[in-house]
Structure formats: structure tokens, C-alpha cells
A and B are shown apart, each in its own frame.
Chain A
Amino acid sequence: MAYSEKLLDHYENPRNVGSFDKNETAVGTGLVGAPACGDVMKLQIRVSADGIIEDAKFKTFGCGSAIASSSLITEWVKGKTIAEAGAIKNSQIAEELALPPVKIHCSILAEDAIKAAISDYNTKNGKAEVEAAE
């Protein structure tokens, strides 16, 4: 399988690996996938008072494409509003990393992970779901 240079770069030098304290109010955590399926993604965002994603971290159990997809999305969401981050589509990730067809599910997982993190943040802070769904 031939992987793109961008993908290999994110796999070899992943950005924003790590964890925040998931009990912090400003932190939203998304945990998606399942070990039995061969991939699990944990994606966390730290949101400022005015609703901007200040920082993001991830940890991923999965193939190189899954690692690269999660690394890429943490880069993308930083500095974005929650609504903007929630609007990222898996197809954008797939295109950026030139994922082969059998690996498209990795980009879907990354999209699911950011949505789950936003949802967790919203629940913690008593905000309605609509904001992200817009």
C-alpha cells in the first residue's frame, strides 16, 4: 500500500499526543471505536471562555492511517470555534491525507471523535447540542 507523504509525516511525527485531565470543566473528551475492531481514538479539546478551542490532544490505538487522521484533526481544530470544529467532515481528512479506500473509516472515526469531544464539553457546561449540530 502506498501512503502519502503527509500521512507518513503525521504517523512518524504525530502532533499533540497526550492527555488533559478529563475532569476539568474546560475539557471535552471523545472516546470512539472499539479494541475488538482494531481502533480506538481518544480526542480531547480545551475550550476557552469565549468558545474557542485553545488546545487539543489525542491518543490512538489503530493503524497508521488512524493515527495520522487523529493527529491531523487536532491540528485543524486548534483556534477554531466549537461550531467550526464540529463542521469538519471526514472527506476533508481523507482528501488531505490521500487515504486509500480501505482506510476511509479512519477519517470517519476522527470526525466521530471530535463530535464526541464537543458533545462531552457541551454536556459538562450545560449547553444545548444544537450549537454543534448547526
Chain B
Amino acid sequence: MNELKAKPIYLDYQATTPTDPRVVDAMLPYFYEKFGNAHSRNHSFGWEAEDAIELARGQVATIIGASPKEVIFTSGATESNNLALKGVMKFYGKKKPHLITTVTEHKCVLDSARHLEQEGYKVTYLPVQQNGLVDLEQLKAAITDETALVSIMAVHNEIGVIQPLKEIGEICRERGVFFHCDAAQAVGKIPLDVNDMKIDLMSISGHKIYGPKGVGALFVRRRPRVRVVAQITGGGQERGMRSGTLPTPLIVGLGKACDIALNEMAEENARIMELRNYTLNRFRERLADIYLNGDEENRVAGNLNISFAYVEGESLLMGIKNIAVSSGSACTSASLEPSYVLRALGVDEELAHTSLRIGIGRFTTREELDQAVDAICNEVERLREMSPLWEMAQEGIDIKSIEWAEH
């Protein structure tokens, strides 16, 4: 347990990514020398800030195949998701009060949907299949004349599965329903094109793509035009859709992060995919009774979500202190509930308690993964020796046959 004390290994790239040094370099000048308020349009300090922001707007637009005019900046993907759901439903809701989303969306989408429900809107929460993917027939069946919006994420934060965006987009466009896509985990990780995929709104995060925290964007389609009711008002920035002084350095950082991702995505993905497969194989070679959660094929390169049967996830985390991984999404991992996402996939609750999410990213090395695999496997073996469930399984006792006193 102590051999790793020296250097922590970061394998939690879905919770947040380290800021790329090139991004930091791009931001630095705007923290000091170039401090104008981008909205003070009549003096040169303001102009300089505005130029930088418009450059970034173009960089964000490019990576998703949008026009810069369709990109508005926010404080992050959570705000973008809130704005997309509430903004669209509040604009179109009188005639079309129905929203469709899935049970495995990010908490901020589900919370916004629940809030809309409390206000009287109708919400359908589609189930997902065992591999985490939406059933397109179920989606088709759920759309009614009253449906205004379908909100489905591109890449899942916990299990990394990639939804069939193009097919979803086709269905939505055909039925005259807007398609919002939470792409916080997808931008820079998979190719995205809002026109090809017929996406009408898309949420983007800075800190999930090696950019800074505290900044994100929302793509809002102009043709056919999507209208949203602003959720933060006063000042009228971002064409009235989102007020507040624009944080120039953060926006410059987001733009730079998109620019780097666009240029390096293909190469980076190949490298990360290779590391992921290598890691998964090493786990499978060494340990019995481990399960990959979420579809293995339709999956983003950097995500592994593995259940280590008979070992409780939190105790496993405690034993691998120098390795930063997550036992669920970062927002909920402080609570003791097993992941709602894994339960929605039909993963047994006892297995849901045994899962780790291992995120591989831009700065991960093979050496780090070797160390991490060794440490995790050692700890799993140690804890299995201590686990009454493992003992029963070895004795051939079916755990499900026992009547447990639930508490």
C-alpha cells in the first residue's frame, strides 16, 4: 500500500482534466496586461478583449461545425444545460409542454427536468438498455405533438458510452422537435458536427477538455432558429441570452482548448484507446469476476468503468490513496448511494457498490497505468481475501440465494 506514496497518479479525467499548459499560456496575458471589459466597446482596452473573445467563439464553433454566431458563453456545462432545458421549455412550453430525456443524464439535466415538472411541464425519462444506449424505437414512441425538446447526452460521464447522435438527430428533425445534446464529455473526444447530427442545442464545458473551470458554452442553432428565454438577465450580453461580464481569460482558454483538441483529437484518441485496451486486458488477465459497465464498442476512448465483484468500492479507493479515481460521478461520490446510472443499466446493486471509474487522458502514461493496475489488483486481492462474499462465491454459494436482512 505504501509503495506509491511518492507521486499521485491522476486517473479521473471525467471529473475534471488538468489545464493544458498551452491553454494556461494563452490565458495568462489576459489576466494582467489586457484587462478591459469586453463590453466597454468604445475604448481600445475593450476592443482588445472583444477580439480575443470573438477568436475564441470561432474556435469553439469550429470544433462542433457551428457558426460563431451560434455560440454563447456561460459559466460551464451545468449552466448551459440549465439554460437549454429551461430556456427552450419556457419559450415553447405553452404549446409544447413536453420534454424527453433519459434516466442516465447528468444530474444537472435531471434536476432541471424535475424542476420543470414541478412547474407543470411534462417530462418523459427514457430508460436505457443494458449497454447504456437509448432505444431509438422507444424514443420515437415517446415523441408526441406536444414535445418541444429531446435532451440526450453525447458521451456519458460515468460509463463513457456514446449515444447514436445522428440517428437521434434525424428522428427529432423529422418530428419537428429540438434536440439538445449535453456534449461536456464529448467535445474533443469524438468528432461532432451539429449540422450533420442535426443537433439544435449543445452544451460544452471548459474543464472537461483541458480548459479552465468556470467557463462553458451553449450552441443555439440559428437556422432553423431556436429561441431560449434567458435565465440570467441584466446587461444583455451574448445577444440577450446570457448576461454578465464575459471572463476574457477563461473564454480565451476555452477557445484554445477547443483548438488544441481539434488538431490533436485523432492522434490522441488512438493513443488513449490503445492505453485503455491495454489496461482492460491487464485487469482481465489478472483478476476473475470483473465486469466492464457500459457498451464496450460505442465508448469514448478514455473511459473504463469496472465492477470488481465482492469488493466494496469505497474500501478499494481507501487502499489506493495515491491514485485519483472515482467510485461514481464526482458530484455524488461523497454520498454513500451506489450510482443511479449503474442501477439504470440493470447492474445488480451489489455490483454497483464495487465499481471504479478509471479515466485516461492526455497526460496519462503507460507507466502510470501499470502502477495503477498493479496497485488496484493488489488491493482487490487483499480485500477479496477479507470478503465474506468472495469466500461464499469460492465455496459455490449463490449470494442471491441468501435471505439478507436489508437495513
Contact = CB atoms under 8 A, between A and B. Distances in A.
B388 interface: yes
A19 B404 contact: no
Interface in A1-56: 3, 11-12, 14, 17, 19, 31-42
Interface string A91-114: 000000000001001000100000
Given A12-B1, A33-B407, A38 B386 contact: no
7 nearest interchain CB pairs? A35-B350, A34-B404, A36-B349, A42-B388, A63-B314, A59-B388, A64-B318
B406 A37 contact: yes
Given A35-B353, A36-B349, A36-B350, A59 B387 contact: yes
A117 interface: no
Given A12-B1, A67-B315, A40 B406 contact: no
Contacts of B1: 12
A109 B311 CA distance: 17
A61 interface: yes
Given A12-B1, A31-B388, A61 B312 contact: yes
Interface in B318-349: 318-319, 336, 338, 348-349
B385 interface: yes
Contacts of A34: 404-407
B9 interface: no
B260 interface: no
Contacts of B350: 35-36, 38
A60 interface: yes
A61 B404 contact: no
Contact of B315 (A40, A41, A63, A105): A63
Contacts of B348: 36
Contacts, number: 79
A32 B405 contact: yes
A114 B222 CA distance: 67
A62 B404 contact: no
B391 A38 contact: no
B310 interface: yes
Nearest to A19: B391
Q: Is the interface of A mostly helix, strand, loop or mixed?
A: mixed
Given A34-B405, A37-B407, A14 B386 contact: yes
B400 to A, nearest CB: 9
Nearest to B404: A34
A35 B318 contact: no
Nearest to B407: A37
Interface size range on A against B: 20 to 34
A33 to B, nearest CB: 7
Given A14-B386, A62-B312, A38 B338 contact: yes
B399 interface: yes
A59 B391 contact: yes
Interface residues of B, number: 26
Contacts of B226: none
B388 A40 contact: yes
A37 to B, nearest CB: 6
A77 interface: no
Given A38-B336, A105-B407, 13 more contacts: A17-B385, A33-B404, A33-B407, A34-B407, A36-B406, A37-B407, A38-B314, A41-B388, A59-B387, A62-B312, A64-B315, A64-B318, A67-B386
A66 B388 CA distance: 13
Contact of B318 (A11, A37, A60, A61): A11
Contacts of A42: 388, 391
A106 to B, nearest CB: 11
B389 interface: yes
A65 to B, nearest CB: 9
B310 to A, nearest CB: 6
Interface string B183-205: 00000000000000000000000
Interface in B282-321: 310-312, 314-315, 318-319
A63 B388 contact: no
Contacts of B310: 61
Nearest to B399: A35
Interface in B72-104: none
Contacts of B353: 35-36, 38
B345 to A, nearest CB: 15
15 contacts: A11-B318, A31-B388, A34-B407, A35-B353, A36-B406, A38-B312, A40-B404, A59-B387, A59-B388, A60-B386, A61-B312, A61-B390, A63-B312, A63-B315, A63-B318
A102 B132 CA distance: 31
A102 B405 CA distance: 20
A121 to B, nearest CB: 18
Given A38-B312, A38-B338, A61 B389 contact: yes
A49 B336 CA distance: 42
A8 B190 CA distance: 42
A79 to B, nearest CB: 23
B322 to A, nearest CB: 14
